[in-house]
Amino acid sequence: MDSLVNPFTVQTPEDIPAKEVLALFVDVFTDFPKILGDGHVFLNGPRGSGKSMILRYLQPDCQLLHKPASQLKELEFFAAYAPLKNCDLKLTELRRLEGQHASVILNEHFMVMYIAVKTFASLAELMCSDTDPAHLAAAQAYGADVFWGLLAKCGYDKPVKAFSECHSVGECCRVIADTCESLFHEVISYLRHLDFRKEVLPFYGPLCGYLDMLCPLLKTLGRLPFMPGPGKPIYLLIDDADNLNVTQTRILNSWVSSRTSRFVSIKIATQMHYRTFRTVTGQTIDTPHDYTEVNISTVYTSSKRRYKERVREIVRNRLRYCGIVDTDPEDFFPPDAVQEQKVQAIAERHRRAWSESGRGYRPDDDALRYARPDYMKELAGTTSSTYSYSGFEQLVHVSSGIIRYFLEAAAEMFSEMQAEYRGAPIASIRPEIQNRVVRKQADEFLFDDLEKLRDDESADSPDEAIVTRLNSLVRALGGVFWQILLSNRSERRVFSVALSDDPSGELREVLRLGMRYGYFHESSIGNKEGTGRTRLYILSRRLAPHFNLDPTSFAGYFFLKSSQLVEAMRNPETFIRGMEKRIYNPSGSAESLEERQLKLFE
């Protein structure tokens, strides 16, 4: 292994070569089967949850290696990737057109051209050496008859390049990509000229829509002899769709509502901040009629086993790729041995005492539920030592269902080990380094990240007051959860609150912001009356080291009213003091904290 290579370095998936993607990728489609196959899909999850890596894996260069296959037509589908994070679709000049009917028309043309450029540029690269006479003839006819014909119907009246001059399928695709790119930049030029005029100038270029241009263009493309073939869909992979403005979001929703998924299936990745589910006509798109929805954070925060196994596979792949073979993740990230011995000693005491004072159904229930909290409670009364957040199991829990949190921490740990070992092989990460890194990152997550969010002055940034409310809510709940851990209650591992009523407008906005940036996960549970379900909000376990909480094993939750969470985000100290009275109320009356137990990440 090259000692300078860090196996846990996080890269932007679109920059990773296909060979490396195949080496690092872990098949998640058993977890998310809806992504594959016909049908529009919304793939939702916070930053770092793995959405872009999934989309990268679906691209044809990766699929050709995965199958393996030598030709595009051997694949089960063709996928065109259109990232929206760093593109010109967010031009501020578009705001001048907001509210006008022309805004919808121009924005749709803009989006159609952008996606067409990405689709045919990808094909041009893949098919650059395909000179098969039958393939070339089909591509030339497609360009001359279908592409130029559709453009002409949309108002294109400029001289056209003869596809008969192309010598490969890739050249034909490049002509289409270049033409669409020039039309895309024509809109950008037009919009920038608006800055020098008070009035809105007319746009004289062609105007293409999804149904009259992009959909028939792709539908016909799928029938060409070098493509996967009739009956096999074309996927449009729209990444970071939260970056679309409201008008563009409504346009994309209109495409979804057109139900063209038998020919073109749109896979839309969002970071929990999709602006609207209404179309340009004001109708809503609905699941499962128009699309299906996959929430990565919901799946991976509701299943301890599934997420842990995915992280285990990812770690093994990365270690193997960098030359560290036959190393188990548990051995590479060992726990603090002395600490674990003490926890196990406490666990054994609970097993022995179960017959007389046990609270669980079995001795192991009490051992699992109380040993670690008891140990952490003992440490809270000392100043000589602190709890160690180390060991693969704990690191998985602290990452809170978001793989990037695990990888970023692991990368920093590995770098520290490299600095110490100075080129010598690294067989494991010392527990003290693991603990130091996750504690530092937990503090940064609460302090630095929220501060950056508060100082963000971009047009799309959240209101500063909402960020401040989020900060207060996180601190208040973290403080209460710590008090519960130190109490003698039956369930002391609490990370969640269930709402007994619907959140107010301001509270809903704060919680949405928290979910968008990974401070909370949302789920649902049965309500207290047993007549339906209510919202459950789970604090990110990434913050466990900051609040000295136990992120492992089982976790409890308790019911609160929305008004109490409003108090928490406005007056966190008052909220914590009020909750302390309930936590330590020995009477067990209705005023005491109502709590319930659920499985980890549930």
> Could you read off the pLDDT of 324-369 as tens digits, one per residue?
888 999 999 999 999 999 999 999 999 998 888 777 778 888 888 8
Tokens of 242: 């939260």
Average pLDDT over residues 561-568: 94
Number of domains in the chain: 2
Specify the DSSP class assigned to residue 167.
Answer: -
- Residue 449 in domain: no
Q: What pLDDT does residue 516 have? A: 87
- Among residues 281, 300, 319, the one where a domain terminates is 300
Average pLDDT over residues 97-126: 90
Residues 6+ apart with CB under 8 A from 71: 226
Q: What pLDDT does residue 590 have? A: 32
CA pair distance 369, 116, nearest whole angstrom: 56
- pTM, 2 dp: 0.88
Helix, strand or coil, per DSSP, at residue 255? helix
Confidence of residue 371 (pLDDT cuts 50, 70, 90): very high
CA pair distance 238, 234, nearest whole angstrom: 13
Confidence of residue 100 (pLDDT cuts 50, 70, 90): low
- Residue 74 in domain: yes
Q: What pLDDT does residue 94 have? A: 72
Burial per residue of 200-212, b for 16 or more beta-carbon CB atoms within 10 angstroms, e otherwise: eeebebbbbbbee
- Residue 24 in domain: no
pLDDT for 131-184, tens place per residue? 999 999 999 999 999 999 999 999 999 989 899 999 999 999 999 999 999 999
- Residue 367 in domain: no
**Mean pLDDT, the chain, integer:** 88
Q: What pLDDT does residue 599 have? A: 41
- Among residues 265, 300, 335, the one where a domain terminates is 300
Q: What pLDDT does residue 528 have? A: 62
Lowest-pLDDT range of 28-32, 117-121, 242-246, 528-532: 528-532
pLDDT for 481-536, tens place per residue? 999 998 888 788 888 999 988 898 899 999 999 998 999 988 888 766 565 788 88
CA pair distance 438, 386, nearest whole angstrom: 13
Average pLDDT over residues 551-562: 79
- Residue 234 in domain: yes
CA pair distance 396, 314, nearest whole angstrom: 12
Question: Cβ distance 398 to 390 under 8 Å?
Answer: no
Give the domain extent around 587: 459-602
Q: Percent of the chain scored above 90 by pLDDT?
A: 61
Tokens of 282: 């004001």
Tokens of 455: 């100082």
Q: What pLDDT does residue 292 have? A: 93
Tokens of 493: 């591992």
pLDDT for 211-224, tens place per residue? 999 999 999 999 99
Is residue 312's pLDDT more than 90?
yes
- Among residues 300, 332, 357, the one where a domain terminates is 300
- Residue 410 in domain: no
Residues 6+ apart with CB under 8 A from 88: 114, 184, 188
CA pair distance 354, 363, nearest whole angstrom: 5
pLDDT for 458-489, tens place per residue? 666 788 899 999 999 999 999 999 999 988 88
Tokens of 289: 């009629």
Measured in residues, the chain has a length of 602
Q: What pLDDT does residue 99 have? A: 64
- Residue 558 in domain: yes
Q: What pLDDT does residue 110 have? A: 93
Q: What pLDDT does residue 101 have? A: 62
Most confidently modeled of 76-80, 86-90, 293-297, 298-302?
76-80
Query: Between 266 and 97, whose confidence is greater?
Result: 266
Report helix, strand and coil shares of the chain as percent, to nearest 5: 55, 10, 35
Query: In angstroms, what is the C-alpha Rg of the chain?
Result: 28
Q: What pLDDT does residue 601 have? A: 40
- Residue 471 in domain: yes
Confidence of residue 302 (pLDDT cuts 50, 70, 90): low
CA pair distance 585, 601, nearest whole angstrom: 28
Is residue 3's pLDDT more than 70?
no
pLDDT for 406-456, tens place per residue? 999 999 999 999 999 887 889 999 999 999 999 999 999 999 999 988 887
Tokens of 160: 């056209």
Average pLDDT over residues 24-35: 89
